[in-house]
Amino acid sequence: MSSYILRRLALMVPTLLGILLVSFVVIQFVPGGPVEQVVQSLRGGGQGGEVAAAASAPGYRGAQGVDARQLAEIKAFYGFDKPATTRFVEMVGRYLRFDLGESFHYQQSVGSLILQKLPVSISLGVWSFLIVYLVSIPLGIAKAVRDGSRFDLWTTTAILVGYAIPGFVLGVALLVLFGGGSFLSWFPLRGLTSDDWASLSLFGKVMDYFWHLALPLLCLVAGSFAVTTLLTKNVMLEEIRRQYVATARAKGLPERRILYRHVLRNALIPLVTGFPAAFVGAFLTGSLLIETLFSLDGLGLLSYESVVQRDYPVVLGMLYLFSLIGLLTKLITDIAYTWVDPRVKFSGSGR
């Protein structure tokens, strides 16, 4: 197992380098970078994103009205006065020290910028993860035990309806109905806390926090119950139909003991091994539409704005950080699989 872990850790290095190299090369050909945007603002012209060629390209007319010295200073300020290979090597060197650089747009370090946005994404991700798993697993078990009953039919219909409704559409409907739209004003429209949050008591802060999270969380989890619930039900049914269950019943073991001591333990293996990836992905990926709809300033909104504004340090820094976390999470998932099911071994030459 230790040799497998070392091999996986060693493979992360070329994988990360490949991801960064491809992204860096693609970015070199994206028009409307920071240099072009500054030049356009100095000229009083249109949006930087409309410029289709680099400022130094032959025939480029976007720099008219900006002298060569000023243009060189702008390039030096953003680091574009150096060859692309030099910039890539310097970027990789910084990333090895976990220095993600400085944002062009926000004029602050990418690391501190990510830390500022994390509370919103963690709040949405962690709570939605907990709600989905704490509801879906017991519900899937109950559906498996009552397979074919009215309870099974109605709950399946309910979760599939939730799965079919896009979260953004549900969010708009909830805001209209309960967020001060045309009907009721029960929930706030924006933010994670109220303006007077600091002056509230501890209980008041907790209630205010969940009051703001209620509608965004409902939009996030409504469509997430179906997959986990039906997966739990199907693996439970598969285990219930195995021969060892019939043998246990023939020996006179109580049904409850068979279900929770033997069947559930084996049925939860696919779910438990997916916990690390689901947990990390829940609060790192963010939800652009939900964050935009409820005015929540999280990582999803930051990622979108960084791409639109051509804020390359933020784009590449977040890509590097999330790719690294994703690779480590996959490794943790494999280790969790061996912990849950000792029969799985990674010592073979195929791995």
pLDDT above 70 (res 319): yes
Please say whether the beta carbons of 232 and 137 come within 8 A: yes
Measure the CA–CA gap between 344 and 351, rounded to whole angstroms: 12
pLDDT above 80 (res 157): yes
- Collapse the DSSP code of 109 into the 3-class scheme (helix H, G, I; strand E, B; otherwise coil) and give the result: strand
Measure the CA–CA gap between 323 and 320, rounded to whole angstroms: 5
The CA R_g of the chain, rounded to the nearest whole Å, is 26
Closest C-alpha among 269, 209, 276 to residue 236: 269
Please say whether the beta carbons of 291 and 284 come within 8 A: no
Torsion-angle region of residue 266: left (phi > 0), alpha (psi -120 to 50) or beta? Answer: alpha
pLDDT at 41: 67
pLDDT at 62: 44
How sure is the predictor about 285, in pLDDT bands with cuts at 50, 70 and 90?
low
pLDDT at 185: 78
pLDDT above 90 (res 212): no
How sure is the predictor about 303, in pLDDT bands with cuts at 50, 70 and 90?
confident
Residue 192 CB-density burial (10 A; 0-12 exposed, 13-18 middle, 19+ buried): buried
pLDDT at 53: 38
pLDDT above 70 (res 262): yes
Residues 6+ apart with CB under 8 A from 41: 48
pLDDT at 156: 92
Query: What average pLDDT is seen over the chain?
Result: 78
Spell 278-311 as b/e; 16+ CB within 10 A means b. Answer: bbbbbbbbbbbbbbbbbebbbbbbbbeebeebbb
Q: What are phi and psi of 133, to 5 degrees?
A: -75, -40
Closest C-alpha among 105, 125, 130, 129 to residue 303: 105
Q: What is the pTM of this model?
A: 0.71
More confident residue, 109 or 65: 109
pLDDT above 80 (res 58): no
How sure is the predictor about 199, in pLDDT bands with cuts at 50, 70 and 90?
confident
Over residues 109-147, the pLDDT tens digits come to 888 888 888 888 888 888 888 898 899 888 988 898 888
Domains of the chain by range and CATH? 2-110 (no CATH), 114-309 (1.10.3720.10)
Q: What is the pLDDT averaged over residues 24-32?
A: 77
pLDDT at 286: 53
Q: Is the dihedral of CA 27, 32, 37, 40 positive or negative?
A: positive
How sure is the predictor about 155, in pLDDT bands with cuts at 50, 70 and 90?
very high
Please say whether the beta carbons of 174 and 218 come within 8 A: yes
Over residues 72-92, the pLDDT tens digits come to 767 777 677 778 888 888 888
